[in-house]
A and B are shown apart, each in its own frame.
Chain A
């Protein structure tokens, strides 16, 4: 807002209105969270809901502090985060590369399309036992799960975007004597930055599903492990705490991806 001094009074009014509205939205968002927490706490304190089953904010906070002072919190967070980010990166990169291959060769695309469609509909958790047998019970299996879940969606989303590239723009490239690699690198890929961004956003969720599901199946540490453990020994405080930590992590990762999106489609503004 360096040009503020040139704005007319009406314009300034208009800008102020937009800013106020944005502030109101953020304020209400925080308000909703506070009211929810307060209600939860009060209902639990007055025993309207059973704090043993439903937990409550103060118990979550206490559990969080315990985990932190034990040095356990970051141990588990790092393990889950590592699995998720690794699965996210491998899934996205591999999926995009496969999509490139399927865009490049119509033959490959036509042959493998039904397989991709079937794999997409298949609930990947069904492969859990197989993955454990093949990749072992360690982190490898969990990362494999995260990759499997994100890779298929990536292939479908990216290929869809690639194939929707304007045929006239491709014609334009051809009249400039561009070869297929140039058409891809200078037109098809850059014109799909929005697709890539939405794909990354989907994959944040997919990778978390994969890693937590993987930890449910077999793990010795991680947030998913803690949740399952908490459920088994009926420590609902632990389950709630881990779920909330998970929310924060997933939200943070989504935020980072949104920043990346702004960079990828910076020409739009």
Chain B
């Protein structure tokens, strides 16, 4: 498999009037096409900063990030971003929320709308297109948020703890849901999380970061690709062992 996304020696420093904080230090990482990678690290280690860098909303102080071999310069629709909350626009119908990205891009063409229709139909949102977000459950809203991201047909999906606002029951469900949709659309995904079991159950590989300034500690392979859904993976024989290993590694870094 070829690399779709590559970070080379990326560093990021924030400045304030009185101090400077290095959030990321010499981080190098490759994400292969079609894989699901999680980025795991102690809370406050700069994971969200990392996603902002990849999405092009921030520029690294040093190093470079390439997507399909091209250096990322500013935001691009080749990268889709899913945030911690669904952030659906309450005043727009579900359909209008899903087509928001296309509207911004002035790409409301027949072909793109057909793509949206297909996603809407395939992922069971057809009955809700005329609804407003506050008429939907938390899990459904998160699904709409994912479809909104997919509507722009990005190569890479960035997921910034997209399940953290959901209760545990819904969370497991939505994990399965999102995982299935991403796999069936054949997308590359980068998930940022501090939830170890979520990382193991969702991903093919896990990049473990150190505490601030974040740098790559190690890459962990879950070897669970043959188990289909995140929920089933939680019951895999090696799950508990992996959890323990990762937990120790992350904990050792927390201060």
Q: Which residues of chain B have C-beta atoms less than 8 A from A174's C-beta?
A: 57, 75
- Verify A172–B87 contact, CB threshold 8 A: yes
| CB pair B87 A175 closer than 8 Å | no
Name the contact of B132 in the complex, choosing from A169, A175, A176, A267 (C-beta under 8 A): A267
Contact A190 B104 (CB under 8 A): no
Which of A171, A176, A267 meets B77, CB within 8 Å? A176
Spell out B's residues near A (CB within 8 Å): 55-57, 75-77, 79-81, 83-85, 87, 89-92, 100-101, 103-105, 132, 134, 152
Chain B residue nearest to A178 in the complex (CB): B104
On whether the beta carbons of B134 and A268 are closer than 8 Å, the reply is: yes
Q: How far is the CA of A237 from the CA of B134 in the complex (A)?
A: 53
Q: How far is the CA of A267 from the CA of B93 in the complex (A)?
A: 8
Residues of A within 8 A of B79 (CB): 175
B76 touches A177 (CB 8 A): yes
Which chain A residues border B84 with CB–CB below 8 Å?
A: 168
Distance between Cα atoms of A191 and B90 in the complex (Å): 8
The answer to whether B104 touches A171 (Cβ under 8 A) is no
**A48-B145 Cα distance, complex, nearest whole Å:** 70
The reply to whether B91 and A175 form a contact with Cβ atoms under 8 Å apart is: no
Tell me how many residue pairs across A and B have CB atoms closer than 8 Å.
57
Q: Which of B104, B105, B134 has the most CB of A within 10 A?
A: B104
Instruction: Tell which of B75, B103, B132 has the most Cβ of chain A within 10 Å.
Output: B75
| A3-57 residues at the B interface, CB under 8 angstroms | none
Question: When the two chains form their complex, are residues A190 and B91 in contact, meaning their CB atoms are under 8 A apart?
Answer: yes
What are 22 sample pairs from A and B whose C-beta atoms fall under 8 A apart? Answer: A168-B84, A168-B85, A172-B87, A175-B57, A175-B75, A175-B79, A175-B81, A176-B75, A176-B100, A176-B104, A176-B105, A177-B75, A178-B104, A186-B103, A186-B104, A190-B89, A191-B90, A191-B91, A193-B91, A265-B91, A267-B92, A267-B132
Bound-state CA distance A168–B90 (Å) is: 14
Taking beta carbons and an 8 Å cutoff, which residues of A are in contact with B? Answer: 166, 168-169, 171-178, 182, 186-187, 190-191, 193, 265, 267-268
Question: CB-CB < 8 A to B101: which residues of A?
Answer: 176
Are A168's CB and B87's CB within 8 A? yes
In the assembled complex, the Cα of A265 lies from the Cα of B57 at a distance in Å of 31
With a 10 A CB-CB cut-off, give which of B101, B134, B152 has the most chain A CB atoms: B101
Q: How many whole Å from A142's CB to the nearest CB in chain B?
A: 37
Closest residue on chain A to residue B132 by CB atoms = A267
Which residue of the partner chain A has the closest CB to B131? Answer: A267
Give which listed residue, A172, A177, A187, A267, contacts B83 with CB less than 8 A: A172
Q: A194 → chain B, closest Cβ, in Å? A: 10
B106 to chain A, nearest CB (A): 10
**B83 adjacent to A171 (CB under 8 Å):** yes
C-alpha gap A162/B92 in the complex (Å): 18
Task: Please determine whether B91 and A169 come into contact, CB atoms closer than 8 angstroms.
Answer: no
Interchain CB contact under 8 A, B57 and A171: yes
Q: Which residues of A contact B152 (CB under 8 A)?
A: 176
User: Quick one: closest A residue to B101, CB to CB?
Assistant: A176
For A268, the chain B residues whose CB sits under 8 A away are 90, 134
